[in-house]
Structure 1
């Protein structure tokens, strides 16, 4: 009889995204659960990838990323945020933003270190902290608009606090942090050695003429932050799994030590294609209007429903509150919607460590107009 090792993550099972997408397939439901578009990326990107594959760029890329892509990321960062990171020492291309998050956490968190996490939160944060031996310290965002109570954050900071993870625009709620939020955060940690891990993968999806408040806009935060972005989110290519991290040289050095033993390098022809396509500034400049139109359509179509629509200020997710419809636990209600109504969503309780249930479901509106119309028609009938 073999005594297999005990699990390092005993409380972790198959992710809710796999569960709900599986249910959507089983019941032939419209899948608004997992965050991916049902439309294709720009045709030019596909042609560029094909071009570089045919030219023979099919072997390992340099560990930090293709130099030309890192240079283009640096130039784009200066255009958007007024800061020019050193492409050699401060920009790292990763196999998706989740890999960058894992590498960042593994690089800076040691056993016994505490990491402040704002909940609800993306489900990859907590396993990465625990695998590094760290201790997550949970601070709830304030319902119903999910803003940060910085006094709560301040109370959680102690000599063991190694990092704070922030996410703006915020998954799953669609909330965005403001310039004042960043200034308050900076003031709270200015006399500490706390590192900020800033998950900014939805940076180009901010609506209603608001601006994205990146930590890169704030020198006092920038010098102690690892900022993570996603080509997959920006270019409708989530299946490519390509992201990047921008950080000061000392933090980049440690992050790359983790990255080189996680994936070493990221798919070469797609890096080459993205380096070319980053010159097309209009794509990411037009993303706010592109996705706001989808958000507005989805919300307008849901006006006759019994759902309460909470304003989404960013990301491509929309929260709907359903307590006027049912008292069911959100996981049970989400499963029933998938099975009986034919629309799959994500219950927001799964983004809390203690499964806090405020009767919200998250719907992805990165879909075609036809998909959104059909989904809304089914939800209105409920």
Structure 2
């Protein structure tokens, strides 16, 4: 008698696909395409950080740090949060250092969500959010952001809140659209969260990459929201060290205790020498952030000029380092077909827009360009993209 073969793949894993963003990097490498897909800079990080990381290794800071984060790094984070956001964060009771902001979001959800809970997600959304909710055994509930300004409908949002709503995810500045949530929008969300006793998971990884004097408003700074807001951030984008995988979470002491337990059993801890180097990052002067925004604004303007020359419509990003573009005029069946053609035949890799929507049909006319690249990289991409003009 033979045993009945058991299902080997979990129901959770069957509910989502692999990362489209990371897949496009692999395709770009395969075809030698300019990679404007995955969101990493192709230029060096600040030299102070390189030296700090090397010095930490030379000083034998190579064993486990405290599970929830190197003490010096946590205190440096608290100091930086104080001057930038005006929040008084206890580094001993309110900060958890993680393996990137990706692990941070997963740890937060696993620590707070239960089966039957609902999590509101604005779409398009960074592709990890939906799978994270599913892995935490909760249910995602999607609210549309509408182009060209990527605003949401107040009535639709109000209707989404109910007794099952446990949390809402806010990503500002926003990936993939470059939207920066306004104070009015955040105040409305804050009102609803307090009415329904809902947590806010806010991903602020692009907090310093802002354009046209657009301000970054942290949800935790709004009246009544510090206690119910979990702020997720990291070194990756601001300091051009996406491969270091050092993120951090700010939350009230009760939530921090639960998050630290989950984090411990997920990854134990982030790389110790890179956390120590993170102290130097947190102590960079305000001029660093001013210059960062200035350099990125030039890159944004460069990519927009390229898209104008090529004839690809887009929404103007107010923050982050992506452009969400409309490809409907090119006549391709969908975004995947167009992105494949662009990578293989034109030699420029982008991300198909459907990867940012719960229903792929909603994203079929969009692609995302990443412009965190050297001028020569963008120039090479422009040279290749101009071949598209004959297709219009």
Q: Give the TM interval when normalised to the shorter protein.
A: over 0.9
Name the residue aligned to 2:295: 290
Partner-residue secondary structure (3-state), 2:73: helix
Given the alignment, which residue of 8, 29, 32 partners 1:5?
8
Name the residue aligned to 1:357: 363
Given the alignment, which residue of 62, 70, 73 partners 1:69?
73
- Give the Å deviation of 1:123: 1.3
Name the residue aligned to 1:196: 200
Partner-residue secondary structure (3-state), 1:240: coil
- Give the Å deviation of 1:6: 3.4
Given the alignment, which residue of 337, 342, 346 partners 2:347?
342
CA distance in 1, matches of 2:63, 2:334: 49
CA distance in 2, matches of 1:248, 1:145: 33
Partner-residue secondary structure (3-state), 1:196: strand
Name stretches of at least 5 consecutive residues in structure 2 with no aligned partner.
none
- Give the Å deviation of 1:45: 0.9
1:140 matched to 2:135: no
CA distance in 1, matches of 2:195, 2:177: 31
Instruction: Summarize the alignment of residues 1-382 of structure 1 with structure 2, pairs less than 5 Å apart.
Output: 3-7=6-10, 8-281=12-285, 282-355=287-360, 356-357=362-363, 359-382=365-388
Tell me the TM-score normalized by structure 2: 0.94
**Maintained 8 Å contact 2:209/2:296:** yes
- Give the Å deviation of 1:288: 1.4
Partner-residue secondary structure (3-state), 2:378: helix
Count of residue pairs the alignment pairs up: 382
**Maintained 8 Å contact 1:306/1:325:** no
1:1-56 CA-partner distances (Å, limit 9, x unpaired): 75343323213232112321121111110000000011111122111111111111
Structure 1 runs of 4+ aligned residues shifted over 6 Å read none
1:280-331 CA-partner distances (Å, limit 9, x unpaired): 1232332211211100111123322121132011111012212222242011
**Maintained 8 Å contact 1:225/1:247:** yes
Name stretches of at least 5 consecutive residues in structure 1 with no aligned partner.
none
Partner-residue secondary structure (3-state), 1:209: coil
CA distance in 1, matches of 2:82, 2:111: 26
CA distance in 2, matches of 1:115, 1:296: 35
**Maintained 8 Å contact 1:150/1:185:** no
- Give the Å deviation of 1:129: 1.1
**Maintained 8 Å contact 1:346/1:361:** yes
- Give the Å deviation of 1:267: 0.6
CA distance in 1, matches of 2:9, 2:220: 41
Partner-residue secondary structure (3-state), 1:137: strand
- Give the Å deviation of 1:237: 0.4
Partner-residue secondary structure (3-state), 2:79: helix
CA distance in 2, matches of 1:284, 1:216: 21
CA distance in 2, matches of 1:165, 1:304: 36
**Maintained 8 Å contact 1:72/1:278:** yes
Partner-residue secondary structure (3-state), 2:328: coil
Partner-residue secondary structure (3-state), 2:14: coil
**Maintained 8 Å contact 2:48/2:280:** no
Query: More displaced, 334-343 or 279-288?
Result: 279-288
Partner-residue secondary structure (3-state), 1:238: coil
**Maintained 8 Å contact 2:104/2:232:** yes
